[in-house]
Structure 1
Amino acid sequence: MFTEVAQNLFVLSEPLSFYGFQIGRKMIVVRLPNGDLFVNSPAELTAERIEALNDLGTVRYVTPSSKLHGHLYMEDYARTFPEVELFAAPDLDRRRTDLAFDGLLGSSPDPRWADVLDQTAFLGHRWLTEIEFFHVPSGTLILGDVCYNLGPEVPLKTQLFARLLGMYGDVSVPLDLRYTMKNEAAGRRSVERILDWDFERVIVGHGRIVERDAKRRVRDAFEWLV
């Protein structure tokens, strides 16, 4: 169910249909040194998933990537895991007034996970501020929607859609995100911060995990900006 892609770093992949296109999605779980679990982009809970999470540790922190990516099931985690704390990405607290958040995510990590996870906000877009994470022990960059990595594993219909949006075949930034940047200087600084991290792997919210030439491929994806 959960694939351990590196020590104490787990990924759950599941189908996701976006306007009829199968793009898939990923949930990321990081086990902290004290056994607490940091969950990013939580997936829907089932009895099997609850059992698997309890086997991994204690679900403690649940985070989305943005106000659009990875927040749909946060309320289920609040009901299921008594010690959980929910964190809001920028503007999510205004969108999800039904949720009681314990903290807001920004460009500095919470001290309780800072030794394991660094983070920064991707700034400069017209309507989306996304929080990017870096798993320090494994050198893994964790992204949401700013980059996709769709290939022949998706249906033909999705392949055609991905080609039209310039996000097929390798790590790539969708054209709609490129064309709706409001402040390219802020975006450039965000990308430079990401590229300062010493990452060797990239987990994107939609698509294949990158296991080789990770930094070069991310740099190439943002060549239009940096």
Structure 2
Amino acid sequence: MLEQIADNLWSATQQISVHGLPVRTRMTVVRLPGGALWLHSPIAPAPTLRAALDALGDVRWIVAPNRMHHLFAGAWQAHYPLAALWGHRAWRPSARTCPSCTAWTRHCRQPGKTACRCSPLQACPS
């Protein structure tokens, strides 16, 4: 499932259904100096994929670059709670995509919390 493209660079693909249409999605994994992993456009975190990543290093960053590539970001963060979660400003976390972000979003909407910004996501608090 995880294919090495170059030194410290991998790709994983997966089929999903969008409005009944089959769509192939791709996640890119970069191992940074020091061994930490950076995930871009996360796909569903299958146990075999997580095991392959665990063998490569610690997942430290999860990047959901747009509204179509955020679907599994929260699921990845649930498995790697110390990883920073970054998202496009158009992404509004929901209970399905990031359960801990919904509590954060409710906190941000309280009166007097005008300086609290949830997106772009600096991290999804737990």
The two structures share one fold, judged by TM-score above 0.5: yes
User: Which structure shows the higher strand fraction?
Assistant: 2
State the one-letter code of the partner of 1:26.
R
State the one-letter code of the partner of 1:79.
A
Q: Which residue of 1 aligns with 2:71?
A: 72
Radius of gyration: which is bigger?
Answer: 1
Q: Which residue of 1 aligns with 2:33?
A: 33
Q: Which residue of 1 aligns with 2:4?
A: 4
After TM superposition, the runs of 4+ consecutive aligned structure 1 residues lying more than 6 A away are none
Q: Which residue of 1 aligns with 2:93?
A: 96
Cα-Cα RMSD:
2.2
Instruction: Say if 1:85 and 1:102, in contact at 8 Å, map to a contact too.
Output: no
> How many residues end up aligned between the 2 structures?
102
The CA deviation string for residues 202-225 of structure 1, in whole angstroms up to 9 with x for no partner, is xxxxxxxxxxxxxxxxxxxxxxxx
Change (3 A) 1:55 1:102: farther
The CA deviation string for residues 175-204 of structure 1, in whole angstroms up to 9 with x for no partner, is xxxxxxxxxxxxxxxxxxxxxxxxxxxxxx
Query: Partners in 2 of 1:61 and 1:102 — Cα distance?
Result: 16
Change (3 A) 1:76 1:19: closer
Q: Which residue of 2 aligns with 1:14?
A: 14
Unmatched runs of 5 consecutive residues or more in structure 1: 106-226
Query: Partners in 1 of 2:25 and 2:10 — Cα distance?
Result: 14
The CA deviation string for residues 29-48 of structure 1, in whole angstroms up to 9 with x for no partner, is 11101111110111111221
Unmatched runs of 5 consecutive residues or more in structure 2: 105-116, 122-126
**TM-score for the superposition, normalised by structure 1:** 0.41
Instruction: Say if 2:27 and 2:40, in contact at 8 Å, map to a contact too.
Output: yes
**TM-score for the superposition, normalised by structure 2:** 0.70
Query: Partners in 1 of 2:78 and 2:19 — Cα distance?
Result: 29
Q: Deviation of residue 104 (structure 1)?
A: 2.6
Q: Secondary structure at the match of 2:81?
A: coil
